[in-house]
Chains A and B, each alone.
Chain A
Amino acid sequence: MKLLKVIQLYRSEKQLVAKALEGSRRAQKDLYELHAPKMLSVCRYYIKDIQDAEDVMISAFFKGFQNLKTYQNNGNFEGWIRRIMVNESISFLRKQKEVYLTDEIEDFQHENDDSLNENFNAVEIQQLIDDLPEGYKMVFVLYAIEGYKHQEIAAVLNISENTSKSQLFKARKLLQQKITNLNAVGNGTR
């Protein structure tokens, strides 16, 4: 029943947003329930602790509802609220600990190692991402999952584009190593 209700509401998301804008608590709740699971997942990319991730998500939803008039039905609501989630997650990480993004210029060369064929599920890859240094993690998630360009990442993280590129390069390299290890361990145990 609840799912049906949510689906019905999803069809009229614009109406929901309009009502939420008028201050309807019911519409706000429906919007929240519709998008919260995915948004919590987004926050979880950056934040290892699920409770912290949830707090950040709640805070981001709150900011979203407070500034709902800036949305004005441009694009879809999910994309809009998701950007707020990303920004909120990054500012959370920055508050938690000082994130140093070293401006290292390295020779980025695409490693085309097609011989590797790793398999991983969401839990595994999330764990690998969690273990990445904060700087690597943020740039990698922003680039690989959120689809940000280096220019945008540089603006969001207040770093240079080159730093963004070097961080992404290192993150990928590290991840590949870990995936390889994971698969090697997996194959060894099987």
Chain B
Amino acid sequence: MGQDRLDNKVKKVLSERKIQPNQDSWNKLEALLDTKDERPKRNYAYYAIAASVMLLLGMLFFLNSNKEQEQETQLVNETENEIKTIPDSGLVINDENEETNVVEATETVENAIASEDKTINNEQIDKQSIEKKSVEVKQNRRFAENQKKVEKEEVKEQNRSNPLIKNEVNLNKTSLAENEKKKQDSLALNNEVDALLALAQENLKKETKTENTINTTTTALKVNPDALLTEVEEEAEESFRAKVFEAVKKGFKKTKTAVATRNDN
């Protein structure tokens, strides 16, 4: 038998052969297919859900942060105005807060000018009224002193008219004079102290009044007291928020530069 004939015969005999596999062979294959089919589908679904949830949260956070930022910028505008209206407050306006819209800025500047005028007027009125009050107080004190002097003079005259008791009176007089002198000294001191105290109090009042007038002027312009209160509360939180956003900005810039210069090395 030749080589090719042997090959052909073997091929012919064997190629006609069929071997029936076990009945559960398909089940084995199906089990294999099932496990492979389900795994990736489940994984993909899980990853898809996770990714979408993350995306949603990210979007929400982003939108919220944007809103907060807008609010903050508005607040900053208002606070800027307030700061501007205080003439000798000595506060420095932050450069960061100057990133505001030009339109908003012009509007607020106009408002600020208006409120400034009003506050200046109020301050002037306050000062005038305070001066008046201090003058009145001084006048009253002088009046009281004059009255006392008049009484003393009357007592002297009475003493002169009664010579019998002159000695006693003289004694009393000297003591009285001493007492009066002392009293006068103490009164003068008291008056000075009172005047100084009054001045200090007035200065304090002035400061508080100017602050109040700022608030009252702003409320008179457009804001209600509740809004002002909430603004003040938010201002307290603002510094923290500003820090957070600053940190985020820095991080973003860092990564940006890192990505940009990744091929430079």
Q: Which residues of B contact A38 (CB under 8 A)?
A: 18
- Give CA–CA (A176, B2) in the complex, Å: 10
Chain B interface category by residue count: 20 to 34
Q: Which residues of A contact B3 (CB under 8 A)?
A: 110-111, 172
Say if the beta carbon of A33 comes within 8 Å of chain B: yes
Say if the beta carbon of B99 comes within 8 Å of chain A: no
A to B CB contacts below 8 Å, 25 in the list: A29-B30, A36-B26, A37-B18, A37-B21, A41-B18, A41-B19, A45-B14, A58-B32, A62-B32, A62-B36, A65-B33, A111-B3, A112-B2, A114-B1, A118-B1, A120-B13, A121-B13, A122-B14, A122-B16, A143-B7, A144-B8, A145-B15, A172-B6, A172-B7, A179-B6
Could you tell me if B33 and A125 are in contact, using CB atoms closer than 8 angstroms?
no
- Give CA–CA (A43, B2) in the complex, Å: 26
Say if the beta carbon of A136 comes within 8 Å of chain B: no
Smallest beta-carbon distance A167→chain B, Å: 14
Could you tell me if A125 and B14 are in contact, using CB atoms closer than 8 angstroms?
yes
Could you tell me if A58 and B29 are in contact, using CB atoms closer than 8 angstroms?
yes
- Give CA–CA (A113, B7) in the complex, Å: 14
CB-CB nearest in chain B for A51: B22
* Interface residues of chain B: helix, strand, loop or mixed (majority): helix
Picked from B8, B14, B21, the residue with its CB within 8 Å of the CB of A126 is B14
Q: Which residues of A contact B227 (CB under 8 A)?
A: none
Instruction: Give B residues with C-beta under 8 Å from A.
Output: 1-3, 6-11, 13-22, 25-26, 28-30, 32-33, 36-37
User: Which A31-90 residues sit within 8 Å CB-CB of chain B?
Assistant: 32-33, 36-38, 40-41, 44-45, 50, 53-54, 57-59, 61-62, 65-66
Q: How many A-B residue pairs have CB under 8 A?
A: 92
Say if the beta carbon of A117 comes within 8 Å of chain B: yes
Picked from A62, A144, A176, the residue with its CB within 8 Å of the CB of B11 is A144
Known interface pairs A29-B26, A36-B25, A37-B18; A117-B7 also in contact (CB < 8 Å): no
Q: Which residues of B contact A54 (CB under 8 A)?
A: 21-22, 25
Q: Which residues of A contact B8 (CB under 8 A)?
A: 144
Picked from B1, B13, B21, the residue with its CB within 8 Å of the CB of A125 is B13
Picked from B9, B10, B14, the residue with its CB within 8 Å of the CB of A41 is B14
Say if the beta carbon of A166 comes within 8 Å of chain B: no
Smallest beta-carbon distance A17→chain B, Å: 15
Picked from A28, A40, A112, A144, the residue with its CB within 8 Å of the CB of B33 is A28
Could you tell me if B17 and A61 are in contact, using CB atoms closer than 8 angstroms?
no
Could you tell me if A41 and B21 are in contact, using CB atoms closer than 8 angstroms?
no
Smallest beta-carbon distance B94→chain A, Å: 63
Picked from A57, A66, A175, the residue with its CB within 8 Å of the CB of B21 is A57
Q: Which residues of A contact B32 (CB under 8 A)?
A: 58-59, 62
Say if the beta carbon of A94 comes within 8 Å of chain B: no
Q: Which residues of B contact A121 (CB under 8 A)?
A: 13
Q: Which residues of B contact A125 (CB under 8 A)?
A: 10, 13-14
Could you tell me if B13 and A114 are in contact, using CB atoms closer than 8 angstroms?
no
Starting from the known contacts A41-B14, A122-B14, 16 additional A-B residue pairs (CB-CB under 8 Å) come to: A32-B26, A36-B20, A36-B21, A36-B26, A37-B21, A40-B21, A41-B19, A57-B25, A58-B32, A62-B32, A62-B36, A110-B3, A112-B2, A121-B13, A144-B10, A176-B6
- Give CA–CA (A66, B36) in the complex, Å: 9
Q: Which residues of A contact B36 (CB under 8 A)?
A: 62, 66
Say if the beta carbon of A133 comes within 8 Å of chain B: no
